[in-house]
């Protein structure tokens, strides 16, 4: 077998499974990168990650009462997100409010999983929630997740200017009459929508990787918000395509015939890009670089 077959396995461009994975993955990548830019600027990576675990708890609850997982994800994320918001009147409280809410939600998850399986070994469910798989997406979920993704992007587009103002210089924005708290809550809705639609199809792991990684890398490369969002989208989509392609190829890699998990491959690509931008030159002026120490 020629060496390049390891990188371009037979059928890669024609497989229907790969096509669906690419459509779903591209949607998640674009939405995560756009919303992720503001998550990075506002230093809300913890909340962004926590929402995926919180949504999964909602999904376990939904399974318990026989409701569709999608609604469970949304309801769980919304309830937990608003709890965190209510618990962080002072900026200093936010980290703890997120932490305690996340710990309680994870505990609730343990309870729901026990009730679902009536068994101590719920390894399969845990694995599915954490790691998901872009290759096992049901085609019927595609329209709903694309609609949710568009809704999240539309919300960010409407909020764009006040959100940017309130995120970069909250004190000045408040003085100029921007309703900072309200903008924050509306942005939370966008984050919940974006995170839950991605966590549902690709799992908590990839959801967080695509939300935080591309946007963090992009904000090291440019100071201009529009350019940073565009670069983040390119990185996220590129990582998903590369990861899906490599995962398809990996059935030819050792250990034979097992295939490497796509979540690992996409995450590894994102991580490498992030580390590369950290090692590279600092952002031109450094002043507005949100990843720099303050």
Partner 1 sequence: MGAWWGAAFPPGLFTYAFMVNAWLAGTAIAIAAALVGFFVVLRGQSFMAHAIPQSAFAGAAAAVLLGLNPLAGMAVGSGAIALGIALLGRGRGEGIATAMVLVLGLGMGNLFLTMAGVYAPEVFGLLFGQLVGISAAEVREIAVLALVLLGAFAFAARPLLFASAMPQTAAARGRSPAAMRIVFALLVALTATLTVPVVGALLAFSLMVAPAAAAAQVARSPAAAMAAGVAIALLSVWMSIVIAYDTNLPIGFVVSAVCALGYVTARTWRRMRDRRPGALAGAAAAGA
Contacts of partner 1 in 36-75 (CB under 8 A): 40, 43-46, 48-50
Q: Are 140 and 88 in contact (CB under 8 A)?
A: no
Which one of residues 18, 190, 216, 246 is an interface residue with partner 1 (CB under 8 A)? Answer: 216
Which one of residues 2, 4, 16, 92 is an interface residue with partner 1 (CB under 8 A)? Answer: 92
Instruction: For partner 1, give the closer residue by CB, 196 or 289.
Output: 289
User: In angstroms, rounded to a whole number, what is the distance separating the alpha carbons of residues 37 and 82?
Assistant: 21
DSSP string, 65-116: HT--HHHHHHHHHHHHHHHHHHT-SSTTHHHHHHHHHHHHHHHHHHHHHHHH
Instruction: For partner 1, give the closer residue by CB, 146 or 253.
Output: 253
CB of 140 to partner 1, least distance (A): 26
Q: Are 48 and 39 in contact (CB under 8 A)?
A: yes
CB of 78 to partner 1, least distance (A): 18
**Residue 36 CB: number of other CB atoms within 10 A?**
31
CB of 115 to partner 1, least distance (A): 9
CB of 153 to partner 1, least distance (A): 21
Which one of residues 14, 120, 140, 285 is an interface residue with partner 1 (CB under 8 A)? Answer: 120
Which helix (H) or strand (E) segment is 161 a member of?
Answer: helix 142-168
Which one of residues 5, 71, 127, 251 is an interface residue with partner 1 (CB under 8 A)? Answer: 127
Residue 208 in contact with partner 1, rule: CB under 8 A: yes
Contacts of partner 1 in 173-192 (CB under 8 A): none
User: In angstroms, rounded to a whole number, what is the distance separating the alpha carbons of residues 146 and 143?
Assistant: 5
Instruction: For partner 1, give the closer residue by CB, 17 or 68.
Output: 17
Two structure tokens written together for 262: 């796509």
Which one of residues 20, 67, 69, 108 is an interface residue with partner 1 (CB under 8 A)? Answer: 108
Which CA distances in Å does 271 have to 20, 209, 266? 24, 8, 9
Residue 95 in contact with partner 1, rule: CB under 8 A: yes
User: In angstroms, rounded to a whole number, what is the distance separating the alpha carbons of residues 73 and 62?
Assistant: 8
Instruction: For partner 1, give the closer residue by CB, 58 or 213.
Output: 213
Residue 213 in contact with partner 1, rule: CB under 8 A: yes
What angle is formed at CA 32 by the lines to CA 277 and CA 192, rounded to 5 degrees?
135
DSSP string, 258-281: T---HHHHHHHHHHHHHHHHHHSP
Which one of residues 27, 32, 98, 198 is an interface residue with partner 1 (CB under 8 A)? Answer: 98
Instruction: For partner 1, give the closer residue by CB, 80 or 152.
Output: 80
**Residue 177 CB: number of other CB atoms within 10 A?**
8
User: In angstroms, rounded to a whole number, what is the distance separating the alpha carbons of residues 269 and 209?
Assistant: 10
Residues 13-32, mask of contacts with partner 1 (x by CB under 8 A): --------------------
CB of 19 to partner 1, least distance (A): 23
Residues that bind partner 1 (CB under 8 A): 40, 43-46, 48-50, 87, 92, 95-96, 98-104, 106-111, 113-114, 120-123, 126-127, 130-131, 204-206, 208-209, 212-213, 216, 255, 258-261, 263-264, 267-268, 270-271, 274-275, 278, 290-294
């Amino acid at each position: 077998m020629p060496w390049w077959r390891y990188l371009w396995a037979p059928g890669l461009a024609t497989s229907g499974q790969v096509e669906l994975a690419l459509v779903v993955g591209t949607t998640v990548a674009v939405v995560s990168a756009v919303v992720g830019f503001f998550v990075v600027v506002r230093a809300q990576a913890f909340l962004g990650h926590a929402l995926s675990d919180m949504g999964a708890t909602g999904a376990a609850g939904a399974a318990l009462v026989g409701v569709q997982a999608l609604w469970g994800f949304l309801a769980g994320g919304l309830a937990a997100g608003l709890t965190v918001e209510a618990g962080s009147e002072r900026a200093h409280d936010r980290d703890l409010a997120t932490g305690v809410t996340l710990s309680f939600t994870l505990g609730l998850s343990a309870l729901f999983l026990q009730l679902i399986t009536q068994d101590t070994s719920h390894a399969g469910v845990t694995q599915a929630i954490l790691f998901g798989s872009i290759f096992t997406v049901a085609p019927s979920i595609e329209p709903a997740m694309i609609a949710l993704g568009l809704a999240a992007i539309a919300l960010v587009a409407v909020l764009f200017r006040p959100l940017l103002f309130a995120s970069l210089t909250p004190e000045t924005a408040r003085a100029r009459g921007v309703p900072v708290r309200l903008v924050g809550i509306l942005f939370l809705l966008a984050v919940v929508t974006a995170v839950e639609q991605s966590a549902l199809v690709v799992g908590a792991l990839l959801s967080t990787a695509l939300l935080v990684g591309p946007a963090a890398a992009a904000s090291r490369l440019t100071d201009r918000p529009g350019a940073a969002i565009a670069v983040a989208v390119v990185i996220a989509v590129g990582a998903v395509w590369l990861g899906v392609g490599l995962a398809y190829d990996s059935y030819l890699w050792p250990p034979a015939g097992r295939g490497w998990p796509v979540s690992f491959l996409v995450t590894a690509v994102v991580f490498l890009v992030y580390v590369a931008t950290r090692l590279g030159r600092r952002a031109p002026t450094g002043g507005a670089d949100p990843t720099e120490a303050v």
